[in-house]
Amino acid sequence: MAASRRFEPGAAEVRAARRFAVGIAVSWGLDPSGVETVVGELAANAYAHARTPFTVRLGLNEESLLSIEVADESDTMPRAVHAPPDSLGGRGLVMVEAVAATWGVRRVDDGKVVWAELSPVSNAPPKR
């Protein structure tokens, strides 16, 4: 299964990207909390740093490994930094690292793709 959608640069589009991804995750029977965190942070980074349109792609393979990609048109490569406790920002990729089984970035012809994979365990519905 796969789904994708393009968004324009803007704060409202970051929210729309999160809603899109959560809706897809729920429709695939997945717990959306990790998806919401990863897409929210990667879309916010695309908006704040790339300032270009961005595309969110989700894919689910046979082993229920969920891949999330956010592509933008900037060639500036992101890196995880550990912000000081009093900093208002700078924790996005650290949060992605905490939620994702793995993440990375790759250059593409027209920019870059920041990706993350969520394991089936992190996508399991919460136990009651």
Structural domain includes residue 28: yes
Structural domain includes residue 128: no
Number of domains the chain contains: 1
Q: Dump the DSSP string for 22-80.
A: HHHHHHTT---HHHHHHHHHHHHHIIIII-S-EEEEEEE-TT-PEEEEEEES--PPP--
Q: What is the pLDDT of residue 81?
A: 60
Q: What gap in Å lies between CA 119 and CA 35, rounded to an integer?
A: 11
The CATH number of whichever domain residue 8 belongs to comes to 3.30.565.10
Q: What is the pLDDT of residue 79?
A: 66
Q: What gap in Å lies between CA 71 and CA 116, rounded to an integer?
A: 12
Structural domain includes residue 93: yes
Q: What is the pLDDT of residue 128?
A: 44
Structural domain includes residue 76: yes
Q: What is the pLDDT of residue 78?
A: 72
- The residue type found at 98 is A
Q: Which domain holds residue 87?
A: 2-123
Ramachandran angles phi, psi of 57, nearest 5°: -125, 135
What are the residue ranges in the chain where pLDDT is below 50? 122-128
Q: What is the pLDDT of residue 34?
A: 93
Q: What is the pLDDT of residue 37?
A: 94
The 10s digit of each residue's pLDDT in 105-128 is: 999 999 999 999 998 654 444 444
